[in-house]
Amino acid sequence: MSSFDRFLVAPRLIPPLDPQFRPAALANRAFACEAGVPVTVALEQADGSVFHFPFAVLRETHPDAATANPFFLERLAKFLLWAWGGSKIYVAGPVALADALRRHYSEDPAGKFDSDIIGRRIYDDPITVHSVPTPEELPPARAGTTPLGRHLDGCRIGFDLGGSDRKVAAVQEGRCVFSEETVWDPYFQKDPQYHFDGVMDSLRRAAAHLPRVDAIGGSAAGVYVNNRVKVASLFRGVPPDLFESRVKDLFLELRRAWKGIPFDVVNDGEVTALAGSMALGQNAVLGVAMGTSTAAGFVTPEGNITTWLNELAFVPVDYRPDAPRDEWSGDVGCGAQYFSQQAVGRLLAPAGIEVPANLGLPEKLKHVQALQAQGDPRAAKIYESIGIFLGYALAHWADFYPMRQVLILGRVMTGSGGDLVLANARTVLEREFPDLGKRLTFATPNEQDKRHGQAVAAASLPALARRSS
């Protein structure tokens, strides 16, 4: 046990299937009450964007400073890396803290994972940590935003690639004329031809419902720059050499197969937020999709997107040392274990629901959904637990995102279980964070939008070339 367990505050609302849950939001607030030494953390991206976040740590004389300060700084850096992005971290504060953070990324397995995926694979450089004496010596904050999608003219196809299914929609002059969901298993496929053929199959099936195809837009888990794959869980099983030779340009290859028509692919979280903004006619939207993993995106108050990563699957939401471990990164307490089919799967045993050991995550979720439809209280406890997780996570995310609207989509939210998730999240906000609860609005899409809203929004991504008169 750590010497600062008193900062790991028990929530007022206990998840029935995970009573040891210790929300990041409460821990950070408890720590801030005793922290008195100002620190500013800054992240710099390859394009020169720089983001600042003010923080505070315990004084050196505090009995918990030696253990609590490095822990809370690292958890903050983890959030900033995966939510905002960047490969250069600047710490304006005690030099010893910057040194500890630097060792984390070079020695700790979870830190080395972050440095490899975010640093080397996304930004082409390992993560580096730089100590500066004062905030005035940090690189100045600067960032740009860009519009995203909202093009509804012509005949379009939109697709959304998840870890257990791929969705496609045919959209004609803004009206969805066809949508379909196909089960697939991309995570551990070694041959990228599997992915290419799967996407092509969905595109052809949608095209059959349109008089022509003017543009194609897609969303998928991962990081994409100019339609090139930087890193994506969908291709985890592909060997590195094949990733370099085939996967990086897979969507450019697909575009060529469709005769070079406008073709845009972006992170699925961005499209989740776009879908919410379009459906609501509102901005300042945080969109979260609970699928095989957790996808998120943010539309700014001005209606644009930022250069942020928004990979909330990897962001810590539970600070207890023995929190559930992410099977890819090896870190504990991260979002994917709380807001996805993975969360449903890990809560089955505590709920007393037995399923065959070899049953896949989609089938486990279907089983829980069927039990929920029958009024089984065991299934209800799974959704109640996820809802409580969500309420506390929203309070955590709101410290970084200036959001006014929240849209929750994805397969986990399908059916009456999704209503339970939202109801419990609202209760957490009302009881623990009443000010946030008053200003934050939950969007409640219909069942079609919960399942296929991202594919329809993805169709709006490409702008059509102007036709000469």
Q: Residue 258 CA to chain centroid, in angstroms? A: 30
pLDDT of residue 449: 60
| 193 — pLDDT class (breaks 50, 70, 90) | very high
State how far the alpha carbon of 258 is from the alpha carbons of 151, 172, 215, 271, 382, in Å. 19, 18, 9, 22, 43
pLDDT of residue 446: 61
The residue ranking higher by pLDDT, 166 or 145, is 166
How is residue 144 written in tokens?
A: 């740009």
- Region of 58 (left: φ > 0; alpha: ψ -120 to 50; beta: rest) is beta
CA nearest 444: which of 416, 410, 407? 407
Q: In terms of residues, how long is the chain?
A: 469
Summarised one tens digit per residue, pLDDT across range 407-440 is 888 889 989 999 999 999 999 999 999 999 999 9
CA nearest 161: which of 463, 449, 408, 454? 454
304: pLDDT strictly greater than 60 = yes
The mean pLDDT of the chain is 92
Q: Do residues 160 and 197 lie in contact, with contact meaning Cβ atoms separated by under 8 Å?
A: no
465: pLDDT strictly greater than 70 = yes
385: pLDDT strictly greater than 70 = yes
- Separation CA 308–CA 329 (nearest Å): 20
Listed in sequence order, the DSSP H helices in 268-376 are: 268-280, 341-351, 361-373
| 2 — pLDDT class (breaks 50, 70, 90) | low
Q: Residue 67 CA to chain centroid, in angstroms? A: 29
Summarised one tens digit per residue, pLDDT across range 334-365 is 999 999 999 999 999 999 999 998 899 999 99
User: Mean pLDDT lowest for which of 32-41, 101-110, 145-154?
Assistant: 145-154
Summarised one tens digit per residue, pLDDT across range 267-299 is 888 888 888 788 778 899 998 989 889 989 899
Summarised one tens digit per residue, pLDDT across range 90-102 is 999 999 999 999 9
pLDDT of residue 348: 98
Helix (H, G, I), strand (E, B) or coil at 26: helix
When computed from its CA atoms, the radius of gyration of the chain, rounded to whole angstroms, is 22
- Separation CA 426–CA 440 (nearest Å): 9
How is residue 278 written in tokens?
A: 């379009």
- Separation CA 214–CA 128 (nearest Å): 44
User: Mean pLDDT lowest for which of 106-110, 277-281, 324-328, 424-428?
Assistant: 277-281
179: pLDDT strictly greater than 60 = yes
- Separation CA 156–CA 216 (nearest Å): 6
3-state helix, strand, coil in the chain (%, to 5): 45, 20, 35
Which residues, listed in sequence order, are joined to residue 231 by a DSSP beta bridge?
Answer: 223
Q: Which residue has the tokens 């209800």?
A: 380
User: Mean pLDDT lowest for which of 176-190, 205-219, 361-375, 423-437?
Assistant: 176-190
11: pLDDT strictly greater than 60 = yes
Which residues, listed in sequence order, are joined to residue 229 by a DSSP beta bridge?
Answer: 224
